[in-house]
Amino acid sequence: MDIISHIIFACILNFGSLNGWLILGSVLPDFDKFITYRKKQFKGYRSRTLFAELPFTSILIFLSVFINPSFTLGLISHYILDFISGETRPFYPFLKNVVDFNLKLKQKILVGVIIWLIGGILVIRQLMLS
Amino acid sequence: MADWRDIGHKTIDALLAPLENLKLSPNRVSWLSVVISIFVYFSLQKSLLLIGILLLLFVLFLDALDGFLARKKKVESFKGLVVDTSCDRLSEFIIFFPSKLWIMLAIINVYVTLGRLKNKNIFIIPLRHIFLILLVIGFVIGFEKISFLMW
């Protein structure tokens, strides 16, 4: 999923509020895109490097627990969104099995639309309350 | 260990027998369990304890259902096991947030799962089941009495 969708999904899980740590946690695992972009492997499961999968993301989550809870939530939200909407290799590099729920394009678009819709409603609600 | 697993599978198969003809793939059931786990998280965050407990029960039901369907449709595979276990681990992360203790236990379970995927005799800690029991106890006697277990 794209970075904006990750931020919106993290915002949804945080009940509509955003902060720097949440945004950082929700986009940090995608820093591997810089590496895979250079290798021209930035699509599908081949774009996913060490820190984008469970074993090493777990280490990041462990460290984040001592930093800021929003950072932890951002990291968890990032992986969940990638997992339910695309291809991942959950136990890479120890196991190379790919997990893909074979969502059709329409279903993936629907997931994205729902996330943006809910996110938009929450943002408007926050603006109205503040 | 394998005998206990067989007994468990047979018990689940007997209980879920009426759902044998369900037209859902085991992987879709696993996917659904992750999605429902998000709603468990929302319920617990909003202190809707009873709803959280019921949804968590549903998640654990789905967790049993995916294996049952895989056995009945004879589509058991190592890949399916990877899907099932990774869904379970993710479900744990989102349900247990923001409890530091339980997140750390979930992290340990990721590595225990890796061990299990390489060696069938390793036992994965049933964290969500234990968490559910604690939630029920908290609901009955008052959540503040067990809050130290939710650090």
Cβ contacts of B110 on chain A, cutoff 8 Å = 54-55, 58
How confident is the model at residue A68, as a pLDDT?
Answer: 92
pLDDT digits (tens, 9 = 90+) for B50-71: 999 999 999 999 999 998 888 8
How confident is the model at residue A39, as a pLDDT?
Answer: 64
How confident is the model at residue A69, as a pLDDT?
Answer: 92
Q: Which residue of B24, B103, B119 to mutate against A (max A Cβ within 10 Å)?
A: B103
> Do B110 and A83 make contact, defined as CB atoms within 8 angstroms?
no
- Listed in sequence order, the residues at least 6 apart from A31 whose beta carbon sits closer than 8 Å to its beta carbon are A51
- Is residue B2 pLDDT above 60, yes or no? no
Cβ contacts of B89 on chain A, cutoff 8 Å = 54, 90
pLDDT digits (tens, 9 = 90+) for B87-141: 999 999 999 988 999 999 999 999 999 988 887 777 788 999 999 999 999 999 8
Distance from CA of B93 to the nearest CA of A (A): 7
Q: What is the 3-state secondary structure (H, E, C) of A42-106?
A: CCHHHHCCHHHCHHHHHHHHHHHHCCCHHHHHHHHHHHHHHHHHCEECCCCCCCCCCEECCCCHH
pLDDT digits (tens, 9 = 90+) for A69-83: 999 999 999 999 988
> Do B103 and A61 make contact, defined as CB atoms within 8 angstroms?
yes
**The two three-digit tokens of residue A23, written as one number:** 């945004």
Q: Where are the domains of chain A?
A: 3-129
Distance from CA of B142 to the nearest CA of A (A): 25
By CA distance, what is A82's nearest residue in B?
Answer: B90
Of the candidates A79, A94, A102, which has its C-beta nearest B90's C-beta?
A79
Any B CB within 8 A of A14 CB = no
Task: For residues B100 and B108, give the distance between their C-alpha atoms in angstroms, rounded to a whole number.
Answer: 12
Among A55, A44, A52, A47, smallest CA distance to A86 is for: A44
pLDDT digits (tens, 9 = 90+) for A78-119: 999 988 887 888 888 888 888 888 788 888 888 889 889 988
> Do A101 and B31 make contact, defined as CB atoms within 8 angstroms?
yes
Task: For residues A5 and A81, give the distance between their C-alpha atoms in angstroms, rounded to a whole number.
Answer: 9
Taking residues B17-45, report their average pLDDT.
89
pTM > 0.90: yes or no: no
ipTM of the complex: 0.85
The residues that bridge with A99 in the sheet, in sequence order, are A88
Among B20, B46, B30, smallest CA distance to B85 is for: B30
Q: Where are the domains of chain B?
A: 2-11+25-150
Instruction: Choose between A130 and A59: higher pLDDT.
Output: A59
